[in-house]
Chain A
Amino acid sequence: MKSVVQLDRVTVRYGRQQALRDVSATFPPGAVGLLGPNGAGKSTMLRALLGFVVPDQGQMRVLDLDVKHAALQIRTRIGYMPESDAHIPGMNAVSFVAYCGALSGLPHSDAMQRAHEVLYYVGLGEARYRNVETYSTGMKQRIKLAQALVHDPDLLFLDEPTNGMDPKGREEMLELIRDIAHNKGLSLILSSHLLPDVEYTCDYVVVMDKGTVATEGPIASLKEHSGRVFELRVKGEAAAFVEVLHAAGLECHETEEDIMRVFVPGTGEPDGQDARRLFQLAATHGMQVRHLRASVPTLEDVFARAVGER
């Protein structure tokens, strides 16, 4: 199979608001990150693929099946972990997960057996007889993953799976997701606005912004940049210096820690020349360089460049 999900010129409108604008994208098998800021259209894309939202135009295929005509067949083979807190009220964890298995077509005894297995797998084995409504936020995230896994789907849609989790829980959830994608033979699409989550678990990324696909490709190749990346901190008007850098043809974005990341396109000049060029620009414009260090490209850089270019 070449791809697990294909979108061809898909547009989704909520009233006058266009949530997806003429989106075309291909998701290969394996772990794919659907990355973008809040409101970029990630959840809308997943909801359209599930059939919750009907696109105004365009075609979508999931696991080689047309979403419009084979929605039920598709849902037999996918698992969905919604972003918001969601459960069946009044059930304990085993009953809930087994119920979801039965809804997906598993015979009752098989559904029950798999519910126990999956709950152990996601780390809720000891709490499986507790009512889901008494669970903490982290446990609720895990049970949402369990209900998505119980019928052994070929493809998982995970919508912000680490939302509201403490650092340890988040780490464990990411380990689970990584294990599912890399050791269990399932494909998954991880929708998130958290770059480290996507970078840790996925091999391929689709970056979305304002309802369109900003860039897509294997993370490793997107991170390859024909040039150098520097971390830079200056004393003075940083915003004005960013303009100077842009005018000089250098890409640049600020991070949360008052440090800007500067991309110097490859010029074939020897090592040290790029750094010297930055120092010269700073000196010319009366800025003091307080920190300059060569860095390696990250997914954050890819994201910033993709979204920043637009």
Chain B
Amino acid sequence: MPIHDQGYRRYEGRREAHGHTWLVITRAGIMERLRERKFLGLLLFAWLPFLVRSVQLYVASNYPQASFLNATPAMFRDYLSQQGVFVFFITLYVGSGLIANDRRANALQIYLSKPLTRVDYVVGKLATLLIFLTFVTWVPGILLLLMQILFAGSLAFLKANLFLFPAITVYSAVAVLMSAFTMLALSSLSKSRRFVAVMYAGLIFFTAAMYQALRGITGSRAWLFISPGDVLDVIGNKIFRSTEPQNYFAAALVTVVVLLAASVLVLERRVRGVEVVT
């Protein structure tokens, strides 16, 4: 081949089979975020409560006079509940631009002209957010359980509360899926990540305020289905076998399903190679 003709040559190498394309999207999404120092700072900050709880477990295990700090199922539930703040901020930071940025740059027609389906694209984007959210909920939750065993030097607590492993897993999954699906659906509605972030924050705060107002006026908790945060609270009470009243659990579950279904519907309509306006 002459030197001047080396600019383009046919490719004869290996090609990956279809089915793993979403991983390429997820990997790129994760790497892009991890290059940002601000985001790394946020991730590290999200682990501070884990450190505090670890110290609590250590003290409770080693100093009998601090037995009031002993691990209880409620402690794990409270910990995951507190992590909701970080779930909110990470969802805003990572999720708002996931599809909105692609829509702004007309990237969807690039993506969908490659050998990947719309489902691959959505799964790839969703997984990016899910991995980060899991990293600040389920991962530290399970590690905290391990810390308790490690510091206590026995499996007694775990044996007495065997439900904690599935409880942490299910609660984290519900919290993470609700946030990720809702944010992804909102992100597909706009070309501006800032607008999406405002929409998401508005949705969370406005619905919570509405619920509190309606609850105050009617004296009934039946309105909780309008507030995703309170829905999660009800589900958490049930999963962690809280002593608080566990009414409306079924309604909360239905709300979660409806929210996820609505998000999928929005994504189905908005993630397309071309936008057809008739």
Contacts and interface: CB of A to CB of B under 8 A. Distances in A.
Interface of A: 14-17, 47, 50-53, 72-73, 75-76, 78-80, 82, 84-90, 99-100, 102-107, 110, 114, 117-118, 120-121, 133, 147, 149, 151-152, 180, 183-185
Interface string B94-122: 00010001101111011111111100000
A120 B6 CA distance: 10
A180 B5 CA distance: 11
A104 B113 CA distance: 9
A88 B105 contact: yes
B13 interface: yes
B8 to A, nearest CB: 4
A103 B111 contact: yes
11 contacts: A50-B273, A75-B113, A80-B110, A88-B102, A105-B15, A105-B18, A107-B16, A121-B8, A133-B105, A151-B11, A152-B11
A47 B273 contact: yes
A75 B114 contact: yes
B24 A99 contact: yes
B106 A86 contact: yes
Contact of B15 (A14, A76, A84, A149): A76
B106 A80 contact: no
Interface string B174-186: 0000000000000
Given A103-B21, A105-B15, A17 B7 contact: no
Nearest to A123: B7
Given A82-B110, A86-B107, A105-B16, A152 B10 contact: yes
Contacts of B159: none
Given A50-B113, A100-B110, 6 more contacts: A72-B18, A82-B106, A86-B110, A106-B11, A117-B8, A147-B110
A80 B106 CA distance: 13
A140 to B, nearest CB: 11
Interface string B11-26: 1011111100100110
How many interface residues does chain B have, given as a range?
35 or more
A15 B278 contact: yes
A176 to B, nearest CB: 9
Nearest to B16: A105
Give the one of A104, A149, A180, A185 with max B CB within 10 A: A104
A52 B24 contact: no
A79 to B, nearest CB: 8
B8 A184 contact: yes
Given A14-B278, A52-B109, A107-B14, A75 B104 contact: no
Nearest to A132: B105
A120 B101 contact: no
B53 interface: no
Given A105-B18, A151-B11, A180-B8, A53 B106 contact: no
B32 interface: yes
A118 B7 CA distance: 7
Binding site of A, secondary structure by majority: helix, strand, loop or mixed? mixed
B15 to A, nearest CB: 4
A87 B11 contact: no
B9 interface: yes
B117 A72 contact: yes
Contact of A107 (B9, B13, B104, B106): B13
A157 B7 CA distance: 20
A15 B277 CA distance: 9
B160 interface: no
A133 B106 CA distance: 12
A151 B18 CA distance: 14
B274 interface: yes
A122 to B, nearest CB: 8
A149 B116 CA distance: 17
Contacts of A107: 13-14, 16
B194 interface: no
**Which 10 A-B pairs have CB atoms at the shortest separation, nearest pair first?**
A15-B278, A52-B273, A121-B7, A152-B11, A80-B113, A86-B106, A105-B15, A103-B114, A121-B8, A76-B115
Nearest to B117: A72
Contacts of A99: 24, 28
B104 to A, nearest CB: 7
Contacts of B5: 183
B32 A90 contact: yes
A80 to B, nearest CB: 4
A130 B5 CA distance: 25
A72 B18 CA distance: 8
A62 B259 CA distance: 40
